[in-house]
Structure 1
C-alpha cells in the first residue's frame, strides 16, 4: 500500500529534465537561428549585380553561425563583378581615344573634300563683253549732191536738216564721189573685215566715222566699208 502511494506521487510530480542546451551556444537566451538573413541579402544583391551591397552584407554575414557558405559565394560574385566593371572602364579608356582620333580624322577629311569641291566648283565670273565705244569723230557738214574726195569714201556727213549723208561713188559718172542720202546708219562701232551678223545689225560705223555694211561672203558675213 505504501509503495502504491509512493509511485503515484512520483507520477504526479516528475523530476525536471536536465538542460539539453549546449553550454557553448552563443544564443543561450533565444532560439537558435535557422537561416542567416544577411547572407541571403548578400547573395541576392550579387545575383542582381549590386556588388557594393553584396560585399558589405557578405562580411556582416560572417558574424552569424549559419550561412557562411552563402556569404562566401556572394563575396566571390561581388568581387568578380567589381573586376568586370574595372576591366570594362580600362578597355573603354583605351578604345575611346582611338575612336575619337578616327572621328576627328574623318571630319577633317570631309571638311577638306568639301572645301576642295567648293573651290573647284565655284563658277568663274565671266567678264561682260566689251561694249563698243561711241563714235567720237565729228561728222563733217555736207549737202546732198555735193562732191567729196576719194579719201572721204564711206565717210558719214551731216546735212543741214539733220539727215545722215554718205560719201559714195557717183553712179551717174564714171569717176568721182558725192554726198548721197539720207541713210540710216547703225550706231555700233566695228572694224572693217570682222565678222558680223545681219540678223543683229546690217549697218554700222568705224571709229573714224565711216559707214560699214554687213555683207555675206560665202557662208560667213563680214563688215565692209560702205562706199557705193
Structure 2
C-alpha cells in the first residue's frame, strides 16, 4: 500500500476493532442470555477503555490512530493533520464503524433473536440520552469530547515510554466514561455513533424498532464542537 492508503486503512481497521470490542461489551451486558448480562456500567466503561487501547495499538503502527472524526478535526485545527485528509479520515472511520457493528451482530446473533427490548438492542449500536434534553445532551457530549481532545493534545507534550501511549489513552476513555458518560452514554466520537446507527438501520434485526435518527445529530455535532474548543484552547496555551 502507498503511505496515504495505508494511513486510511489504519483508520478503517482501527475503528472497526474499536467498535467490535466497544459495542461488543455493550451487547454482552444488555442482550438476553449473554453470560455477561446485567454486568452493568462499570463493565461497559472498562470494556470501552480496553477497546480504545487495542484499537490504537492496532492502528498506531500504520497511522496516527485517530479513530474519531472529532479527534481528526481537532488535530487538523492544531496543524497536526493536513486539512485535505480530514474527509478521507472521517469516511474511513465511519466505514470501519459500520463493519465493526456488523461483526458485533454476527457475534451475538443468537442473543439478538432472544432479545425483545428495542432500546436494549439499539444500545448495542448507538448511544442515547438517559434524559432527553437537547441542550443538556449537547453540553454533555461537548464537554466529554473537550476533555478527550485536549488530553490527547496534552499527551503530545509528554514523553511516554515506547508503547505506553495507547494504555494512557485507554485510561482517559475509562475516566471519561465513569465520570461523564452517565448522561448520554459518552459517544464523544461521531463515527462511533453514526456508523453503528447506519448498521442498525440496515441489518435484519428482529425487534430492532426505530433507529432514532432524530437524536443522531447530537453525537455528531456536539463532539465536533468540543473538539474545536479543545484545539483552540490548546493553540492559545501552546
State whether TM-score is above 0.5: no
TM-score, structure 1 normalization: 0.22
> Which structure has the larger Rg?
1
TM-score (norm 2): 0.21
Q: Which has the higher strand share?
A: 1
> Which structure has the highest helix share of the two?
2
